[in-house]
Amino acid sequence: MIPLTLNEIAHTVNGRVLNATGEELVIAPAFIDTRKTIPGGIFIALMGEHLDGHQFAVDAIQGGAVAALLTRDMGVPSVQASEPASALQLLATHVRSSLPKLKVVGITGSQGKTTTKDLLLAVLSSEAPTIAPPGNLNNELGVPLTLLRCSESTRYCILEMGARHPGDIAKLANLAQVDIGAVLNIGSAHVGEFGSDLALARAKGELIAALKPDGTAILGTYDLATRDLARNAPCRVVTFGETGEANLRAERVSLVHGRPSFHLAGGSEFAEVHLKYYGRHQVANALAVAAIATELGIGLSRIASALSSAIPTSRWRMEVRQRNGVTVINDAYNANPESMAAAIELLAEWAEGDGRPSWAVLGQMHELGASSDVAHQLIGRLVAQRGVKHLLVVGSGAGEILNGARGMAIADAEMVADSESALRYLRDRIEPEALILVKASRAEGLENLAFEMLGDQA
């Protein structure tokens, strides 16, 4: 964070200084969790459903924070504002405006945001100081907190942008003053919350609409809704995909032991990429990174080298563990029809290539609205069509997966009530050299099952 006095912070957030002179200098980022106090930073006392951040203000100061940003006097050095979350956003906007040399990249899409962010961080940080959020801090709190980690030495800031309601992404993009906006894809994740595919597409398109004329829109070519965003883009458009019309392309894609390799092509240039990430669908994420990085002036060969060196860092997203010949693919962080299909394709292709027995251990996909039953049935059909040997459905909410698979006459398909039942079922039946996929929406909590079956803890 750029150094700011409490007086400067108070002026920015329309607040006032309490229990301090106002000349105290905040030199470290803002934080909201006193278990992760940042010495020299400022604590944001948020109001939650079950906890009031004000009760931790003293702990924050004792832990080394310069001050707290709060709504009432807690007897500690602080800036009082009407609403801490809004004040946090005002402060982030001020810091962003104070860093004219900073390039901000916004990433959205129905799936792949976090992996793309991780890959992009690997590429950009190999060139210059880069800030990106840990995990998937992609909302009205995560985006400003990430921006506040930027300083005058930061060259690039990468932001994930998620949405629960229309207008969410527009607000985040304007707050961050995004220079390059990337829409990876527009699928059916969260369609239940937005009510229709069209409303969801409009929400993702808010990132492109917020770009300035000198900005750049990065668009995937994998679905019509994303491609259509180019029509009304207010700026330059760069596309990525696996067709000849895309500006950044993947050619000669192959999968070896679950990991993809391909020729990265841009114009007349080519470079080989050998990803350490699992799944053919990671090619699209890598292409998005290449498109963004080329717009920032990085050469194709350097991009390919950094992509090939990048190691997965986010948990429960195609996280692979092995023990005694058994391999578990833990992709249980979240799920939607597109990401579920991609994971099943990986399982089938990897198992077929290595001649290994395959297991799909699948739970419910949430937030699909009226399309939920059909979406789950189609996943079950895909499991059968792709020749997966065993299917275990966990939880009654995913029962339509079982119905879809049995409708295709899959030989071995069962359903159990919960993770504990799944663990008992699997331990009695897993073959040597088995390849096991575990995937569901996060609310199902299957991430622990993935490692417990190997005798580990997630």
DSSP for 66-126 reads: SEEEESS--SSSEEE-S-HHHHHHHHHHHHHHT-TT-EEEEEE-SS-HHHHHHHHHHHHHT
On whether residue 232 sits in a domain, the answer given is: yes
Asked if residue 348 belongs to a domain, the reply is yes
d(CA 94, CA 109): 27
- Residue 91 covered by a domain: no
| DSSP states along 340-374 | HHHHHHHHHHHHHHHT--EEEEE-PPPS-GGGHHH
Query: Based on the domain organization, do 178 and 305 belong to the same domain?
Result: yes
Of 205, 203, 199, 194, give the one whose Cα is nearest residue 229. 205
* 121 & 266 share domain: yes
Residue range(s) defining the domain that contains residue 19: 4-81
Q: d(Cα 177, Cα 428) in Å, to the nearest integer?
A: 55
Long-range contacts of 146-151, Cβ-Cβ distance < 8 Å, separation of 24 or more: 147/92, 147/95, 147/96, 147/104, 147/175, 147/176, 148/1, 148/29, 148/30, 148/88, 148/91, 148/92, 148/95, 149/1, 149/29, 150/1, 150/2, 150/95, 150/96, 150/99, 150/102, 151/1, 151/2, 151/99
Buried b (16+ CB within 10 A) or exposed e, 226-263: bbebeeebeeebbbbbbeeebbbbbeeeebeebbbbbe
Q: DSSP readout, 141-165? A: THHHHHHTT--TT--EEEEE---SS
Tokens linked to 273? 């990429």
Alpha-carbon gap, residue 67 to 58, rounded angstroms: 9
**Do 211 and 249 belong to one domain?**
yes
- Do 272 and 392 have their domain in common? no
| Closest to 297 measured CA to CA, from 106, 127, 117, 150 | 127
- What is the spatial distance between Cα 395 and Cα 199, in angstroms, rounded to a whole number? 30
Positions in the chain whose pLDDT score sits under 70: 188-195, 456-458
- Give CA–CA dist 247/53, Å, rounded: 48
Same domain, 304 and 332: no
Q: How far is CA 27 from CA 157, 320, 369, in A?
A: 18, 39, 46
Note the pLDDT of residue 192: 59
- Domain boundary (263, 291, 309) is at 309
Residue at which a domain ends, from 309, 328, 349: 309
**CATH code at 254?**
3.40.1190.10
Q: Is residue 314 part of a domain?
A: no
Examine the fold and report which residue of 281, 309, 337 is the final residue of a domain before the chain moves on: 309
Q: Are both 417 and 439 inside the same structural domain?
A: yes
142 and 290 within one domain: yes
84 phi, psi to nearest 5 deg? -60, -40
Are 264 and 218 in a shared domain? yes
Shared domain check, 297 and 197 = yes
CA distances 108 to 55, 207, 217, 317, 444, Å, are 35, 8, 11, 17, 24
CA separation for the pair 307, 122 (Å, rounded): 7
CA distance 305 to 168: 35
Which pTM does this prediction carry? 0.90
Q: 292 and 427: one domain? A: no
Looking at the domain assignment, is residue 88 inside a domain?
no
The burial of 311, by beta-carbon neighbours within 10 Å (0-12 exposed, 13-18 middle, 19 or more buried), is given as exposed
- The string of pLDDT tens digits covering residues 59-117 is 999 999 999 999 999 999 999 999 999 999 999 999 999 999 999 999 999 999 999 99
**Residue 262, helix vs strand vs coil:** strand
Whichever domain contains 329, its CATH number is 3.90.190.20
What's the structural domain count of the chain? 3
Q: How far apart are CA 229 and CA 110, in angstroms?
A: 15
Pair (115, 71) in one structural domain: no
* Statement to judge: residues 325 and 211 lie in one domain: no
What is the number of other CB atoms lying within 10 angstroms of the CB of residue 203?
A: 23
Flag whether 447 is in a domain.
yes
